[in-house]
């Protein structure tokens, strides 16, 4: 006769009902926090991390910007470098060469030879090597009509104005480009000062049309 095993209390325990399981589940759900609207405050650690990054970025940019100053714009400045006590003196010939390349080279050529029969040469020109009283006026108000340069006649194209009625260049620009062409391609004329340009500009402030060669020849005699 086989020996009987003692009863297992786990197997004999009555199973939990569905209602009891649902009650337990509902109780667990009630213990969780209810969802709410609004914003969650940023943790102090994260806020401190963001502040540290902003501070580090400011220090880094202040140290490695290469003296860049966004509120200062000087198109005639030469290069960068450390800030000095006084203003940097720009080379007017270098500025004039750049302006000539950007605005004049298409008509008067890189060699200053101009275009035969259309645009007069600047190299060896008696106008360029003559008094600045005429060349400054040409740049300020332009030139129209026939003109004789280096023994040849020109007049099929007009010289545009770079003063108030045209490109509206400031005195320093006009002085720089004139200084360049008066010393380039073998020309031997002296530099033109911005103060001289300002003086002529003031004297001709009421002029609104281009000059003719005859008018200019009467000036500076």
CATH architecture of 92-215: Orthogonal Bundle (1.10)
C-alpha distances out from residue 151 to 58, 84, 139, 190, 213, Å: 65, 50, 22, 23, 14
For residue 1, count other CB atoms closer than 10 A to its CB. 3
pLDDT one-digit tens code per residue, 110-129: 999 999 889 999 999 999 99
List Cβ neighbours of 39 (8 Å cut-off, separation of 6 or more): none
Pairwise CA distance, residues 127 & 152, whole Å: 13
Q: Using one digit for the tens of pLDDT, what is the confidence trace for 147-170?
A: 999 999 998 778 999 999 999 999
* Contact status, residue 187 vs residue 173, Cβ threshold 8 Å: no
Q: How far apart are CA 1 and CA 83, in angstroms?
A: 111
Q: How many CB atoms lie within 10 A of CB 81?
A: 9
Domain residues of the chain, as ranges?
92-215
In this prediction the pTM is 0.61
Q: What is the pLDDT of residues 1-36, one digit of tens each?
A: 555 555 555 545 455 566 666 666 666 666 556 666
């Amino acid at each position: 006769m086989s020996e009987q095993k003692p009863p297992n209390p786990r197997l004999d325990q009555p199973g939990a009902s569905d209602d009891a399981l649902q009650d337990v589940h509902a109780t667990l759900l009630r213990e969780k926090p209810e969802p709410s609207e609004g914003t969650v405050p940023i943790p102090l650690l994260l806020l401190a991390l963001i502040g540290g990054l902003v501070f580090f970025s400011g220090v880094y940019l202040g140290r490695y910007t290469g003296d860049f100053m966004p509120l200062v714009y000087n198109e005639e400045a030469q290069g960068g470098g450390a800030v000095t006590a006084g203003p940097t003196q720009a080379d007017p010939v270098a500025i004039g060469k750049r302006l000539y390349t950007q605005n004049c080279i298409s008509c008067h050529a890189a060699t200053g030879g101009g275009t035969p029969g259309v645009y007069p040469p600047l190299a060896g020109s008696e106008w360029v090597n003559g008094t600045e009283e005429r060349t400054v006026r040409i740049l300020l108000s332009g030139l129209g009509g026939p003109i004789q340069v280096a023994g040849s006649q020109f007049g099929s194209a007009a010289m545009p104005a770079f003063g108030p009625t045209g490109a509206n260049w400031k005195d320093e620009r006009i002085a720089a480009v004139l200084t360049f062409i008066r010393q380039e391609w073998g020309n031997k004329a002296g530099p033109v000062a911005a103060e001289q340009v300002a003086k002529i500009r003031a004297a001709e402030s009421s002029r609104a049309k281009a000059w003719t060669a005859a008018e200019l020849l009467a000036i500076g005699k």
